[in-house]
Amino acid sequence: MTTMALSAPYDPREAPAIRWGILGPGSIARRFAAEVTAFTASRVVAVGSRDVSRAQQFVDQHLSLPDGPHAHAHGSYEALVADPEVDAVYVASPHSLHARHAILALEAGKPVLVEKAFALSADQARSVFEVARRQNLFAMEAMWSRFLPQYTVMRDLIESGELGEVHAIVATHAQSLNLDPAWRMMNPSLGGGALLDLGIYPLSLIHWLWGTPQSISATGVKTSTGVDLRENITCQYGDRLAVAYTDMATAARNGVQILGTKADLEIPQWFYTPQDMVLTPRAGTPRLLATGVDGGFQYEAAEVARCLAEGRTQSPFMTWDATVEVLTMTDEVRRQMGVVYPQQ
C-alpha cells in the first residue's frame, strides 16, 4: 500500500480570534475547551452551569494558566449569555435542552454553536433558526466531523469522478454503553436512544455526500423504556443506497465504505473522528490517504470565527437547511420505530 500525504484544507490557527462561553461543563465541553485553546487563536473566557461550583471546577481544571484561571465561572446560564466578554456561546448541555439553551443565548444577542444533535426534532431546530433569523445572528450545529479534513477530501474524490459512479455508502456507529434504565440514554423524556447520540453521525455523513434521500426504511429494536436500542436505516437515492447501522448495546469498529465503479474509499474505524482513509482502485494498489490530524474540534470552532468575521449567519459547510434535513431523517426513523419524545 502506498501513502499519499494530504494537507488540511485550512489552518484553524489562521482563523480570527473570538472569546467563547461554554454552556454546560460536561465531558464534550472539556474537549472543546482543550482543542480551541491548543489549536486556535481563540480562547474560552466563561463557563456557565446551574451549579457555580461545577463551573468553577471546570475553570480550575481546564482553563487555568500558571498565574491562575483566565475564565469566569457563572452559576446560571442566564449569567453566562449576558457576559459582555463572550462573543459566542458553545451549547454543550444534553441535547434534550439544546433548543431551549440556544434560544436563550440568541435572545441575549449571542451567536451559537450547538452540539449535535442540534435539537430533538426538525421542528425544534426550525424554532431555533427562526430566532437566529429574527436576531440576525449566527447559529450552527456542532457536527464536528463535517469540518475535518478527511470529509473535504472524501467529497472532492467523489465529485472528481475518481471513484467512478458511487452506488453505495455503508456506515456504522455502535458502542457498548450504559443501559441502566435510570440513565439519560434510556429515558425518552431526555431524548434517549442510539439515534440522536450515535446514529446522527452516519446519517449526517450520508446527507453530507448525497443530501436528502427519496425514501427511508428503518427497522430496529426498542428498549423496555421505549427508546431505540439499535436500528438499521436504508436511505434510497434512485438506484443508489446508503445504509446506516447504529447500536448502543454492542461495540463495533465504526467504519464507513463508499463503493464506486472505479474505486472504493474506506475509513476502517471511527469514521467521524480524525482518521486516514484508504482508496482502493478496482485495478491497482491501495493508497493510504493521510488525512488524520491532531485534535478535531478546532475546525468547527475556526469555522464559527471565520463566519462571524465575514458577517455570516450560516456556515456553507453546515447550513440551517442541512441541520433541519438531517433531523427530518431522524424524525422519520423514530416515526417508523414508534419512538416518541414526550416533550415534543
Count Cα atoms within 13 angstroms, Cβ side, for 152: 15
C-alpha cell at 212: 436528502
151-155 contacts, C-beta under 8 A, 24 or more apart: 151/205, 151/208, 152/9, 153/6, 153/277, 153/289, 153/291, 154/209, 154/258, 154/265, 154/277, 155/208, 155/209
**Catalytic-residue membership of 262:** no
318 close to 117: Cβ distance less than 8 angstroms: no
> How many residues appear in the chain?
344
Strands 228-237 and 215-222: antiparallel
What would the 3-class secondary structure string for 256-289 be? EEEEECCEEEEECCCCCCCCCEEEEECCCCCEEE
Q: Which of 110, 116, 222, 262 is catalytic?
A: 116
164 close to 260: Cβ distance less than 8 angstroms: yes
CB atoms within 10 A of CB 259: 18
Catalytic residues: 116
